[in-house]
Amino acid sequence: MEIAIIGAGVSGLSCAIKLKQHGIQADVFEKRAIAGDRFVTAEVFLNLLDYPFYDSIRYLSEEHDLLIKPTSNIKKMFIHGPNVSSCLEGHLGYSNLRGKHDEALEKQLQSQYEGNIYFENKVDYQEIAKEYSHIVLATGDPLDTQQIQMFEEAFRASFKGGIVTGEFTPNEVHAWFNNELAPKGMCYLIPHSHSEASLVLVYPQYKENQHVDKEALFQKFHEEAQRKLNQTLNLVSHFSINDYRIGISSYPRIGNTYFAGNCFGAITPFLGFGQFTSILTGIYSAMDIMGKGNYDELTKPLYQNFYDSLALRRGIEKLDNSKLDLVMKSIHTKILETMLTRRKVNLLKIASKALKPFL
C-alpha cells in the first residue's frame, strides 16, 4: 500500500497519526515550511454542536489516543443580541490556538506524529495520482475537491479578525449576533490567555452583502466589544480572508481517493466550526484504508449534521434584529439552558424547534 496525504493540517495529520498508530507509514506532503504556518487565531470546539459526541477532546483521547491540550475549558459563553445578552454556563467545550503559535493545534498534532513530513512540497493531485494506491486530499481547500468531483457550495464567508490585548478570563468567550455588526453572520471574542484574545467578524458574502464595508464593520464591532467588556482592547495584529468556501463534497471518497477536512466539507454552516469534523474525517479515512471501517458509512452522520446545520443557518438568517433579541431572551429560560448545557442533546434539532415561533 502506497499512501499519500496531501496537506499537513488538522485532517491530514490526524490521518497520518492514526495510520502510524497501526504501523502504516504514509507520505505526508505540506506546501509550507512548517505545520501551521499562518496567522495566529483562537478557535473553539463546542460540545453543544458535536452531537452525538458529548466531549470531543475527551473522545479523541479515549477512543483514538489523539491528545489535544486546549487553551482553556470553556465555562461561560456570553451571547449578545442587538440589545439583550444571555449567558450559557457549564462544560461548554474548549478553546485552542491555531497558526504560528507554539501551542497551536497543528503543532500539537505534528508532535504526536512519528513519521516524516515532506515540507515545502506543493503537490498536485493529478500528478501523483498514479504513483499511490491511496490518496487523502487534505489541503483545506474545496477548490481542490472541485478538480475531482462536485462540491456543493452553501456560501462563501468573509472574515476580518485580529489579536487584541486587554484583561480576559480565559474560560469565558463572547459571541455577538447582530445584523448591524455582522449581517447574517457573527462576531466573537476568544481569549488566548489572561492578557490576549482573538476578535473576529465573519459574515456570508451574499449578493446583499457585497457592498458591505468590512473595515468599517470591524471597527464598529471593535468599539462594541470594548463597550461590552468595559475596557480598551488594543489591536496588535490583524487578518482578512475572503471567499472561504463552506459546503460539502458529493462523495466522501472516489475509488481510493479520500476527501478529508475542508476538502470533505467539514465546516458546519451554522457557526463555521470544522476542527472536530476535520479530525474525524482524517481518522475515518485512515480506518477505511486499514480495513477497520467504511468511510462512506462513517461519514453519513457528518452529512446529516451539515444539512441540519445549514437548515438552522437559513432559519436564523431570516431573523431581523428585534427577533434576534427575542431569541436571546428565550436562551435565558432555565429549561433551554439545562437542555443545552447539562445533557447530551442534539443542539441543531433543538435550536430549529426553539426558533420556529420566531420565523
Ligand X SMILES: Cc1cc2nc3c(=O)[nH]c(=O)nc-3n(C[C@H](O)[C@H](O)[C@H](O)COP(=O)(O)OP(=O)(O)OC[C@H]3O[C@@H](n4cnc5c(N)ncnc54)[C@H](O)[C@@H]3O)c2cc1C
Interface with ligand X (CB under 6 A) = 6-12, 29-32, 41, 43-44, 122-123, 138-141, 159, 161, 241, 244, 261-262, 266-267, 272-276, 278
Residue nearest ligand X, CB atom distance: 9
Which of residues 278 and 309 has its CB atom nearest to ligand X in the complex?
Answer: 278
Least distance (Å) between residue 190 CB and ligand X: 7
In the complex with ligand X, the residue whose CB is nearer, 123 or 325, is 123
Select 239 or 358, whichever has its Cβ closest to ligand X. 239
Grid cell 459526541 is found at: 53
Q: Which three cell numbers stand for residue 93?
A: 467545550
User: Who's near 338: CB < 8 A, 6+ residues apart?
Assistant: none
- Residue ranges of E strands in the chain: 3-6, 27-29, 41-46, 72-80, 85-98, 117-118, 134-137, 151-165, 172-176, 186-191, 196-204, 234-249, 253-254, 257-259
Q: Shortest CA distance to 247 belongs to which of 337, 352, 142?
A: 142
Helix axis angle for 347-355 and 321-332, nearest 10°, is: 120
Q: To the nearest whole angstrom, how small is the minimum distance from the Cβ of residue 356 to ligand X? A: 27
Which of residues 203 and 244 has its CB atom nearest to ligand X in the complex?
244
Shortest Å distance, C-beta 126 to ligand X: 11
Residue given cell 470544522 in the structure block? 274
325 or 347, CB closer to ligand X?
Answer: 347
Q: Please state the closest distance from residue 232 (CB atom) to ligand X, in A.
A: 24
The least CB distance from residue 9 to ligand X, in Å, is 2
- Strand, coil or helix: 296: helix
